[in-house]
Amino acid sequence: MTEIVQLKKFYGSHQILEISNLQLSKGVYWIKGANGSGKSTLLKVLAGLLPFAGEILIDQISIKKQPVAYRSAINYAPAEPVYPSFLSGQELVNFYSKIKKGTTQQLEELKSVLGIDDYLKNPVGSYSSGMIKKLSLLLALTGKSNWIFLDEPFTTLDVSSQKALSRFIQSNSDTGFLLTSHHDILPEDIRLKGVYHLKNKKLEAEKY
């Protein structure tokens, strides 16, 4: 269960988010919203990348009181991933799997799902935007997390990878997934448990 309590996020004096109370049981959720509505900020807050006012709990683990345990319970892939250009994808994968306790078998499975081939050995600076996106998804799906936050996961992916990813998400929906997208349609393979619309700083449930 993910619980958001009295969450407020400001950039300077400019308020971006105001979510009074939200509880999500495990499943796949979709957060919709226009560009600049605060979807990425919400996911960054949930991932522990940005400070905020309020409280977030994952299975009763508080982001503020148990920051390390909380981060063990979640994974996150940004909308526009940025990695050091001189590091190879393999180095990043090793770093993540060491910390997130990912297994070789799991990594191989994820590589085949996302269609990542030998390029992991090359420096990230030589990757295309689609390859960087796949790398960020691979990292976010590494290890065993309770919740995975994916910001615009289908953007820049080719059609076959989009389908493979949506099938993967659906088959692993015992893990909670929070997906964002500014598009109106998500791939058909995903059966959503809920849809929320982020508008005027607030998160509103939509009929689905």
Query: First vs last Cα of the chain: how many Å apart?
Result: 20
- In terms of Cα–Cα distance, which of 182, 187, 172 is closest to 152? 182
Axis crossing angle, helix 159-171 with helix 129-140, rounded to the nearest 10: 10
- Rank residues 93 and 114 by Cβ distance to other proteins and give the closer one: 93
Q: Is 18 in the site for other proteins (CB under 8 A)?
A: no
Q: Is 123 in the site for other proteins (CB under 8 A)?
A: yes
Q: Which residue in 35, 82, 159, 183 binds other proteins (CB under 8 A)? A: 82
CA atoms within a 13 Å half-sphere pointing along the CA-CB vector of 187: 22
Nearest distance in Å: CB 6, other proteins:
18
Region of 168 (left: φ > 0; alpha: ψ -120 to 50; beta: rest) is alpha
What order of strands is seen across the sheet that includes strand 61-62? 14-24, 2-11, 53-58, 61-62
Q: Give the C-alpha separation, 23 to 25, whole Å.
A: 7
Binding piece for other proteins, criterion CB under 8 A, among 98-106, 154-162, 164-172, 175-183: 98-106
Binding piece for other proteins, criterion CB under 8 A, among 108-116, 119-127, 151-159, 195-203: 119-127
Binding track, positions 135-174, relative to other proteins; x by CB under 8 A: ----x-----------------------------------
What residues line the site for other proteins (CB under 8 A)? 11-12, 14, 16, 36, 47-51, 67-72, 74-76, 78, 81-88, 91, 94-96, 98-100, 122-126, 139
